[in-house]
Amino acid sequence: MSAPRLIDPIRLLPPQLADQIAAGEVIERPASILKELLENALDADATRLDIELSRGGMESILVSDNGYGIAGNEMALAISRHATSKIGRLEDLLQLRSLGFRGEALASICSVSQWEISSRRSYATEAFRLCYDQSEQLLPVNHAVGTTVSVRNLFFNTPARRKFLRTERTEFRYCDEVFRRMSLARFDVAFYLKHNARQIHRLPAVIDDIGRSRRVGQLCGEAFVRNSLVIDFPRRDMRLWGWISKPAYSRQQSDLQYFYINGRIVRDRVINHALRLAYQSLLAPGRHAAYVLHLELDPAEVDVNVHPTKHEVRFREARQIHDFLMQCLRESLQRDASPQSVTMHPDIREMPLEYAATGSTAETLSAQDVDARNATEGFFGNLQSIVCQRFALTQSVNGMYLIDIHRAQVGLARQRWQEAFESNQIKQRPLLIPQTLDMNSAQRQSYEQQQAMLARLGFELTQSSPSQLMLRAVPVWLQGFDSRQLIQSLLVSAIDLSEMFDAIETHLMSQHCELTQIDFKRFLMLLAQQRDRLSTSWRKLTQADLLAWLREQPVHHD
Ligand code: ADP
Ligand code: MG
């Protein structure tokens, strides 16, 4: 028999150990400290922040601000856990205007590093310093109004955690990213960053559009600014503003996506979804949009107390926010795509296309990017004009092409729909407002036979009365088409599946479909990838075509 196991008694954790455990949640690496210190400085109304890092922040992090400072008699309290000046009651959490509120950051930082805080409160005559090896002792020092926090030797007392730190370069990269996020959050604040005594960023405070765009250019690259749209949508209770990339500028990674809610950077599924949807079909597969966006709204509408790092949020009206974002972006992107040049003929509009790598984007494209681009969009080349709202005339290095975009659109819709049907992966789109459909008695009979098939095709239909159907959801492939008319045309005597799809195709071809310039670009791109399967929608123009066409033109004599 084994010896009885010794069971330890239950005891309260010593405060230092409790802090170290709590620190595990918020302090992962130097960058997490930098984030907390910058948030504190901004919460203290600082207008200038000076940051100095050494060895990627592992050796030291120093943040100096000109905010309202900490009173000498509150310094010891500031570094204890659950001590905050930002909230006092539960209701405050629902109306949060500050970045911090948990009262844990300083306590956590101080439990895992050798720290020092100097501060002078506004209107106070003296400044004080508190530091880790004599934490009870407050010493008078020289310091302007504001606060300087210095953090050295991170994890000196928790070696296990130190092991998780990476190379200096990597840790610096994380810090630099925190710096970018913060400085894109507050254009009215000056930010300066030094690493190993070298000045890395120098960002004076800016107050106008030009200044803000300059800062975005410094942090996100000039190419992004040049290829982005500046948007601003003030609403009664919300405002969305910032920079969004034009479809012609996309990235291999989603690394240039900054979204702020009331000045706090967030990563949120609802937001991501809305933005992805807005760009959907404007970007080649696998490419990502870039943006710096600020959403301002009543703090009561969002709950930030979801996660210790406060990057996640919960919206009270998620749907409304989602739709607002999507509408704003769609509107801006469409507006950008609308033709600007003169009309040559009522049916022929000249539309310069941005897909051609312009000088500005070319310099930021790697050879790989260019290959990838040629592989997808390059086949048909540039859109030269749109004829009769239906055909695209393009020119590429291979020659000129005439493309029936409407046919391509219908062909693609059929192809995808049929494939999804065969693999049982029909996707539906619910209608915001259900539609009613009238049936005569013959259609009613057909409906009874066809009901199951229509459901399998992705239509959600219910019979609301003997002569009426209610349509609640449609297959996603019908976007842009009138589904009601289509269903009516399908309510004919029994047909089999492939006849059904033929009928769908014929019907869709007969429908007029409003296409924007963006749609044209999108179908050109999709068609370029599927050109073999959709070969009936396009043809290369030969010299003979052009000659024949020229011969048919009436000759004018002036
Ligand atoms: P929180 O930010 O969640 O309140 P912290 O532990 O980060 O908690 O900070 C504790 C308190 O210390 C803050 O509420 C604030 O009153 C004070 N404080 C921290 N940093 C600064 C600063 N740079 N300037 C002024 N006050 C500060
Ligand atoms: Mg804080």
Ligand 1 atom 1 nearest Cα: 103
**How far apart, in whole angstroms, are the C-alpha atoms of residue 352 and residue 385?**
8
Which of 25, 43, 104 for mutating ligand 1's site (highest number of atoms within 8 Å of CB)? 43
Report CA(166)–ligand 2 centroid distance (Å). Answer: 25
Report CA(11)–ligand 2 centroid distance (Å). Answer: 29
- β 257-261/264-265 pair status: antiparallel
**Contact 176/219 with Cβ under 8 angstroms?**
no
Report CA(322)–ligand 2 centroid distance (Å). Answer: 29
Give the number of the atom of ligand 1 that is nearest the alpha carbon of residue 107: 6
Outline where 256-306 has alpha helix (H).
269-279
Report CA(130)–ligand 2 centroid distance (Å). Answer: 17
Report pLDDT for 493.
Answer: 64
Report CA(65)–ligand 1 centroid distance (Å). Answer: 12
**How far apart, in whole angstroms, are the C-alpha atoms of residue 312 and residue 265?**
9
Report pLDDT for 543.
Answer: 73
Identify the nearest ligand to the CA of 118 by its number: 1
Report CA(271)–ligand 1 centroid distance (Å). Answer: 29
Which of 40, 66, 79, 93 for mutating ligand 1's site (highest number of atoms within 8 Å of CB)? 40
**How far apart, in whole angstroms, are the C-alpha atoms of residue 490 and residue 469?**
14
Ligand 1 atom 13 nearest Cα: 84
The torsion angles phi and psi of 26, rounded to 5 degrees, stand at -105, -30
How open is the CA angle 543-546-551, to the nearest 5 degrees? Answer: 125
**Contact 481/489 with Cβ under 8 angstroms?**
no
Ligand 1 atom 21 nearest Cα: 40
**How far apart, in whole angstroms, are the C-alpha atoms of residue 58 and residue 113?**
10
Report CA(444)–ligand 2 centroid distance (Å). Answer: 66
CA distances, 465 to each of 309, 436, 470 (Å): 54, 10, 9
Give the number of the atom of ligand 1 that is nearest the alpha carbon of residue 68: 25
Report pLDDT for 122.
Answer: 94
pTM score, two decimals? 0.63
**How far apart, in whole angstroms, are the C-alpha atoms of residue 57 and residue 508?**
61
Quick one: the chain helix, strand, coil %, rounded to 5? 40, 25, 35
Eight-class DSSP state of 57: G
**How far apart, in whole angstroms, are the C-alpha atoms of residue 392 and residue 370?**
23
Tokens of residue 101, six digits? 């509120």
Amino acid at 60: S
Identify the nearest ligand to the CA of 109 by its number: 1
**How far apart, in whole angstroms, are the C-alpha atoms of residue 30 and residue 332?**
39
Strands of the 48-54 sheet, one edge to the other: 139-141, 127-131, 114-120, 146-152, 60-65, 48-54, 190-195, 198-203
Q: Enumerate residue ranges in the chain where pLDDT < 70.
A: 1-2, 134-136, 308-310, 338-378, 493-495, 514, 552-558
**Contact 476/427 with Cβ under 8 angstroms?**
yes
Give the number of the atom of ligand 1 that is nearest the alpha carbon of residue 108: 6
Give the number of the atom of ligand 1 that is nearest the alpha carbon of residue 106: 6
Tokens of residue 434, six digits? 């259900």
**How far apart, in whole angstroms, are the C-alpha atoms of residue 475 and residue 414?**
11
**Contact 290/250 with Cβ under 8 angstroms?**
yes
Average pLDDT in the chain? 84
Ligand 1 atom 8 nearest Cα: 103
Amino acid at 148: T
Pocket lining for ligand 1, CB < 6 angstroms: 36, 40-41, 44, 65, 67-70, 78, 83-86, 100-107, 147
Report CA(122)–ligand 1 centroid distance (Å). Answer: 15
Query: For the chain, how many residues are written?
Result: 558
Report CA(40)–ligand 1 centroid distance (Å). Answer: 5
Eight-class DSSP state of 236: S
Neighbours of 439 (CB within 10 A): 19
Which of 61, 63, 84 for mutating ligand 1's site (highest number of atoms within 8 Å of CB)? 84
The closest of 351, 342, 434, 359 to 394, measured between CA atoms, is 351
CA distances, 59 to each of 113, 126, 148, 259, 539 (Å): 10, 29, 17, 31, 65
Report pLDDT for 24.
Answer: 75
Give the number of the atom of ligand 1 that is nearest the alpha carbon of residue 83: 10
Eight-class DSSP state of 14: P
Tokens of residue 295, six digits? 């959403």
Ligand 1 atom 7 nearest Cα: 105
CA distances, 122 to each of 99, 104, 144, 478 (Å): 21, 24, 9, 63
- β 60-65/302-303 pair status: unpaired
Q: Give percent of the chain with pLDDT exceeding 90.
A: 38
Report pLDDT for 495.
Answer: 67
Report pLDDT for 366.
Answer: 45
Report CA(315)–ligand 2 centroid distance (Å). Answer: 22
**Contact 192/201 with Cβ under 8 angstroms?**
yes
Give the number of the atom of ligand 1 that is nearest the alpha carbon of residue 101: 3
Eight-class DSSP state of 162: H
- Residue 130's contacts (CB-CB under 8 Å, 6 or more residues apart) are 75, 76, 79, 116, 117, 137, 138, 139
Amino acid at 506: T
Eight-class DSSP state of 523: H
Ion ligand 2: protein residues whose beta carbon lies under 5 Å? 40, 100, 105
Report CA(159)–ligand 1 centroid distance (Å). Answer: 27
- Residue 352's contacts (CB-CB under 8 Å, 6 or more residues apart) are 340, 341
pLDDT digits (tens, 9 = 90+) for 342-372: 333 333 332 333 322 233 333 333 445 444 5
Question: At what angle are helices 30-43 and 168-185 packed, to 10 degrees?
Answer: 20
Ligand 1 atom 16 nearest Cα: 85
Eight-class DSSP state of 50: E
**Contact 205/184 with Cβ under 8 angstroms?**
no
**How far apart, in whole angstroms, are the C-alpha atoms of residue 111 and residue 15?**
9
Identify the nearest ligand to the CA of 111 by its number: 1
Neighbours of 23 (CB within 10 A): 25
Number of H-type helices and E-type strands within the chain: 19, 24
- Residue 28's contacts (CB-CB under 8 Å, 6 or more residues apart) are 164
Report CA(103)–ligand 2 centroid distance (Å). Answer: 6
Report pLDDT for 553.
Answer: 61
Report pLDDT for 338.
Answer: 58
Give the number of the atom of ligand 1 that is nearest the alpha carbon of residue 104: 6
Give the number of the atom of ligand 1 that is nearest the alpha carbon of residue 146: 24
Report pLDDT for 97.
Answer: 84
